[in-house]
Structures are given as structure tokens and as C-alpha cells.
């Protein structure tokens, strides 16, 4: 029994760290405003020895998240030129061209 208790104590700390890391990830992913970020930062700061290094990671991840959600620049050309109906609708009136050529070219 004593040995089992000591074994449990030996594995308890890493387990807590894993759980806290998981919580941190969830908090960052679900954050919608600064208060959440602050909460996550506080958690990170209070619970992990390497709190100082965690903040830059969060900032980087913020930047990555911001960039990932920005839409690509719109190419007005392709909006029209990939739309058959729009091309038909905006086409210039077709002029009948009567060729005056005679014979093989």
C-alpha cells in the first residue's frame, strides 16, 4: 500500500501539467476577447514554471490565428470571367461579320 501511494505521488505532477496544458489550449482556441486571453495568460503564468516563455507563444499564435482568418484579396477579373452567366449577360452585342474573302486563304 505504501509503495502504491508513493508511486501515485511520483506520477501526479506530470499529469497535472498535461491537464493544465490542455486547458490552456482550449482557452486560447475559444477566446473571443482580451479578457479570455488574460485569463489564459494568468493560468499559464500561475501554473507553469516557464510562464515567461509562454506569453510570446501566445502572441505568435494570436498572430497566426489572425492571418489565417483573413480572406485572400479579391480578383474582380475572375469574379466575372469564371461566371458563364455573367459573361453572357455583359457581352457586347454581337456584330455579324460577313467575310468578303473569296477562295482558300
Partner 1 sequence: MAPLEPWEKVLVDSTQYPGTVHGQIACQECHGGVQSSDKATAHTGLIANPSNDALSTCGECHPDVVSTNSSNLHTNLKGYWTVLDQRTSPDDHELITEIFGNHCNNCHASCGECHVSQPNLVGGGLIDGHIFNATPSMTRNCTACHGSRVGNEYLGKHDGLLADVHFRQGRMTCLACHSGHEMHGAPDNCEACHTAPETTTAVPPDHRYDGVQNPSCEACHVTAALGKDDIEMHQQHGGELSCQVCHSVAYTSCDGCHVAISDTSGNPYYATEGSYLGFYIGKNPRKSYDRPYTYVTLRHVPVATDNFAFYGDNLLPNYNALPTWVYTTPHNIQRETPQTASCNACHGNADIYLTADKVYPEELEANLSVIVETIPQPIDSITNTIVITDIITSTNILTTTETVTYTNTAP
Of residues 34 and 102, the one with the C-beta less far from partner 1? 102
3 state SS for 37-48: HHHHHHHHHHHC
**CA dihedral of residues 54, 56, 58, 64 (deg, nearest 10):** -150
Restricted to residues 47-86, the positions that interact with partner 1 (CB under 8 A) are 75-82, 84
CB of 71: closest distance to partner 1 in angstroms? 15
Nearest Cα neighbor of 61 from 27, 35, 23 is 27
Q: How many residues bind partner 1 (CB under 8 A)?
A: 23
Task: List interacting residues with partner 1 (CB under 8 A).
Answer: 75-82, 84, 87-88, 90-92, 94, 98-105
Amino acid at each position: 500500500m505504501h509503495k502504491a501511494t508513493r508511486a501515485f505521488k511520483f506520477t501526479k505532477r506530470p499529469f497535472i501539467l498535461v491537464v493544465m496544458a490542455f486547458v490552456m489550449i482550449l482557452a486560447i482556441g475559444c477566446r473571443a476577447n482580451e479578457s479570455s486571453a488574460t485569463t489564459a495568460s494568468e493560468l499559464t503564468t500561475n501554473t507553469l514554471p516557464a510562464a515567461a516563455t509562454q506569453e510570446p507563444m501566445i502572441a505568435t499564435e494570436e498572430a497566426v490565428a489572425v492571418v489565417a482568418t483573413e480572406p485572400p484579396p479579391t480578383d474582380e477579373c475572375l469574379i466575372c470571367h469564371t461566371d458563364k452567366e455573367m459573361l453572357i449577360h455583359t457581352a457586347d452585342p454581337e456584330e455579324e461579320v460577313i467575310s468578303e474573302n473569296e477562295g482558300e486563304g
